[in-house]
Amino acid sequence: MTTPPQHVVLLVFAIGLLFGSFLNVCISRLPEHRSIVNPRSHCAECGHPIRWMDNVPILSWVLLRARCRDCDAPISWRYPAVEAAVGLWFAVCANRALYSINIGPILPAVNGLGKTISERDAIAALMIAILGFLLIGLMVMDWQAHRLPDAFTLTGTAIGFMLVFVQAYFLAPGEGDVVLNTTHQLRLSSPGSFASQGNVFLTGPETLILSRIAAIAGAALILLLVRWGYKALRKRDGMGLGDVKLLAMIAAFLGFSEALLALFAGVIAASVYGILLILRRRVSGASKLPLGSFLAAGGLFSALLGPRILAWYMELLR
């Protein structure tokens, strides 16, 4: 018995809405260092606990007409927007895994092309889903509260890095091996190598994990240098450490090139926004831009389109 892929995408969308609902709690409480578990969700205005029927993602907000049932205080459109965003993001990830062209042995479920889903596509989709959840949260938190909590950035970096080990486990034998010299038989093989005839300098898993460590460190270093440079020139902090950790997190999930693309896209978006603000005379030169929000948006962009854009760019360089 197989489930039609559209049903799976719909189910994942519903799960995403629930995660979005939880993300709203994190967004409201983490920047203020409040627990995300206790107390139960309540109205910020009158403190009345929220009934289960008023806590249905998106639907309740619409039915309540964006007002608290008890005190009539307005409820921000941020709540349904975050729920919808996470729901859609999860659905896109599921859709991608289901309609991937890779053929895989396990996960007997479903595939839009009538094939089984590979573990690799499933893990890749899971990683993008988790990254999106974290980035949407960070984007809103930096915008509203000018904070990028470690509970998201550092924890996210650790989760991303651990999932890279799972990815490494599912590499095919010999895949990603770094071979030093293909013409000579060096008889040099690292422990755990699938290749028996030598010449393998680093196995695929070693390459993946080591390069990801370098990616995390490199991404953090770039922004640390920018931060130091700005401080040396302007004698004040221009960028928080949160931005540094945020880019390191993107690198942990996606790799170095994708993190660079996220930074690039984020800086362009922030510049355009800054110029628009100046044109509308809303700011002075000392105004603060929530750079983290733009970096997070750049991360979402890179997670969705990064591999395609980078492949196109590499073609250009040839």
Residue type, 45: E
- Rounded to an integer, what distance in angstroms lies between the CA atom of residue 236 and that of residue 257? 30
User: Which residues are within 8 A (CB) of 285 and not within 5 positions of it... i.e. 6 or more apart?
Assistant: none
Residues facing 189 on adjacent strands: 200
> Do you find a cis peptide bond into 205, omega within 30 degrees of 0?
no
- Measured from the CB atom, the residue of 71 and 268 that comes closer to Zn ion is 71
H-only helix segments in the chain: 5-29, 59-63, 78-98, 119-145, 150-169, 204-234, 241-254, 256-279, 291-317
- Rounded to an integer, what distance in angstroms lies between the CA atom of residue 49 and that of residue 52? 9
Q: Report in angstroms how near the CB of residue 80 gets to Zn ion at its nearest.
A: 17
Nearest to 152 by CA among 286, 289, 292: 292
Q: Which residue is listed with tokens 């902090």?
A: 237
Q: Report in angstroms how near the CB of residue 145 gets to Zn ion at its nearest.
A: 21
- Measured from the CB atom, the residue of 46 and 62 that comes closer to Zn ion is 46
Give, rounded to a whole angstrom, the gap between the first and last alpha carbons of the chain: 48
- Which residues contact Zn ion by CB under 5 A? 43, 45-46, 68, 70-71, 73
Q: Report in angstroms how near the CB of residue 22 gets to Zn ion at its nearest.
A: 20
- Measured from the CB atom, the residue of 70 and 150 that comes closer to Zn ion is 70
Q: Report in angstroms how near the CB of residue 45 gets to Zn ion at its nearest.
A: 4
- Measured from the CB atom, the residue of 46 and 278 that comes closer to Zn ion is 46
Q: Report in angstroms how near the CB of residue 77 gets to Zn ion at its nearest.
A: 17
Q: Report in angstroms how near the CB of residue 65 gets to Zn ion at its nearest.
A: 14
Q: Which residue is listed with tokens 């990254």?
A: 131
- Measured from the CB atom, the residue of 7 and 51 that comes closer to Zn ion is 51
- Measured from the CB atom, the residue of 56 and 209 that comes closer to Zn ion is 56
CA angle 16, 249, 193 (to 5 degrees): 105
